[in-house]
């Protein structure tokens, strides 16, 4: 018969193999990245709500004004609603890139803030003044301040 011995022998305690340092596989959490993601997602939600509001307003304005003036106002508001919807999508994409620490997310978020400030400036010049316009400038400034922190720039490979 072929009998194979299956007992294992434990190595002596003095001959234990040195342990290798454990490398963490999960990324280190950074609070400023979480703040940036929260701000970008807030912008995405608010601009989506703005797109819906402008679309509803366009339909109502067409009926109130009527004729060529109503159609012109509707087209202008639908264009603005489309731009707000695209901004919302890109803000959500930038937030996702920030979560995954992609270098392009920093650039995309910075360009989005520039677009937000320009869009708010156009709204200020074309529409009747309202203090809510300051919210657009405030959101752009807040995100830019977070983007300029050293920890966010380092995490998104901008240093």
Question: Would you kindly state where each structural domain of the chain is located, as residue ranges?
Answer: 31-155
Q: Specify the pTM.
A: 0.77
- Residue 23 binned pLDDT confidence (cut-offs 50, 70, 90): low
- For residues 28 and 4, what is the distance between their CA atoms, to the nearest angstrom? 49
Tell me: the pLDDT tens digits for 10-21? Answer: 666 665 555 656
Tell me: the pLDDT tens digits for 30-86? Answer: 889 999 999 999 999 999 999 999 999 998 888 888 888 888 888 989 999 999 999
Say what the pLDDT of residue 9 is. 63
Answer positive or negative: Cα dihedral of 47, 50, 56, 59: negative
- Considering only CA atoms, which of 107, 97, 118 is closest in space to residue 144? 107
- Which secondary-structure segment (H or E) carries 114? helix 103-126
């Amino acid at each position: 018969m072929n009998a194979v011995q299956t007992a294992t022998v434990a190595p002596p305690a003095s001959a234990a193999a040195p342990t290798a340092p454990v490398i963490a596989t999960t990324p280190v959490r950074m609070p400023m990245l979480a703040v940036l993601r929260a701000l970008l997602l807030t912008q995405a939600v608010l601009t989506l709500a703005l797109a819906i509001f402008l679309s509803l307003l366009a339909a109502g304005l067409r009926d109130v004004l009527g004729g060529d003036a109503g159609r012109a106002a509707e087209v202008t508001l639908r264009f603005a609603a489309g731009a707000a919807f695209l901004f919302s999508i890109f803000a959500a994409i930038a937030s996702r890139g920030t979560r995954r620490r992609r270098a392009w997310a920093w650039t995309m978020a910075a360009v989005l803030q520039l677009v937000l400030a320009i869009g708010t400036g156009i709204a200020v010049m074309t529409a009747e003044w309202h203090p809510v316009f300051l919210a657009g400038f405030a959101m752009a400034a807040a995100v830019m301040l977070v983007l300029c922190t050293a920890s966010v720039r380092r995490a998104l490979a901008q240093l």
